[in-house]
Amino acid sequence: MAAAMRLVVTGRHGQLATALAERAAGKGITLIACGRPELALEHPASIAPALSALTPDIIVNAAAWTAVDRAESEPERAHAINAAGAGTVATTAAMLGVPVIQISTDYVFDGSATTPYRESDPVAPLGVYGQSKLAGEQAVMAATGDHAILRTSWVFSATGQNFVRTMLRLAETRSGISVVADQIGRPTPADDLAEAVLGVAANLLSRRGEPALRGIFHVGGTGDAVSWAGFAEAIFAERVRRGAGAVSVRPIGAADYPTPARRPAWSVLDGARLKETHGIILPDWRIGLARCMDRLMTTEQAP
């Protein structure tokens, strides 16, 4: 990074906040992760005092209610955190005169497309989680023009709760695992996402008068789109390369694994606008998966 930056990120223990802390080191960035109890998105009165006290140059709102199925039974809480909370973070950013980066999701789409989703495509979330995140996008846009909304998908890392760690945990006791094969997307390594966030943040701060750098952007891993079953196969192939036993994947349909919330059947995001405006493109997700597996299958980080 060319200039010093004081970046405040909400969601202290999340995958993205953790990855941002790792990636910020050595780049002239002071990164401060904040969260409960000092800042809780579902308690609006806590947000402005907590953020103001940290005197940020830019705010990244990575905190969210991500329990997709529980959101169906607790819609008020999902909206309080993902919509009203995001709006209050953005309002506070506007009050402080700093940009805000809002992390959003592929779940704002209904998954009926057959080509990668562009930012201008119609949104139609299938469930409460997607609806609350879309409402959060709208709240951010209403609160401040100095924003970048980054939609991402299928985030994984060596920390936190994610698909990679779940598959490795199951592989410890099973020789075969049934995985949904009719939902398609591109996985996103959290550390690559963090690198992109830092790049967007630097651009927003150094080029304050450029509206093209503001708005909605799709930020996801590149490479082949895969089903969850295909993703699991890639994980287990990396596991075998590191000396573990083989695990078979049994492809099933989403209808065979019913959940309270419907998921998009197609979650592939088009990152062309991010590349064109910010000059950022993420690497192939398989590179990030290999890096993640190196961490998970050593004593540094147990699954």
Residue positions annotated with a catalytic role? 129
Q: Over the range 58-72, which residues count as b (16 or more CB within 10 Å of their CB) and which as e? A: bbbbbbbbbebebbb
Report the distance separating Cα 175 and Cα 178, nearest Å. 11
- For residue 267, give the amino acid letter: S
Per-residue tokens: 77? 């809480």
- Three-state DSSP at 149 gives strand
Per-residue tokens: 54? 């940290």
- 102: phi then psi, degrees, rounded to nearest 5: -105, 125
Contact of 224 with 145, CB cutoff 8 Å: no
Report the distance separating Cα 70 and Cα 57, nearest Å. 34
Report the distance separating Cα 10 and Cα 36, nearest Å. 9
Q: Write the CB contacts of 92 (distance below 8 Å, at least 6 apart in sequence).
A: 47, 48, 51, 52, 59
Residue 198 half-sphere exposure toward CB, CA atoms < 13 A:
28
- For residue 190, give the amino acid letter: A
- 193: phi then psi, degrees, rounded to nearest 5: -60, -40
Element housing 135 (H / E): helix 128-143
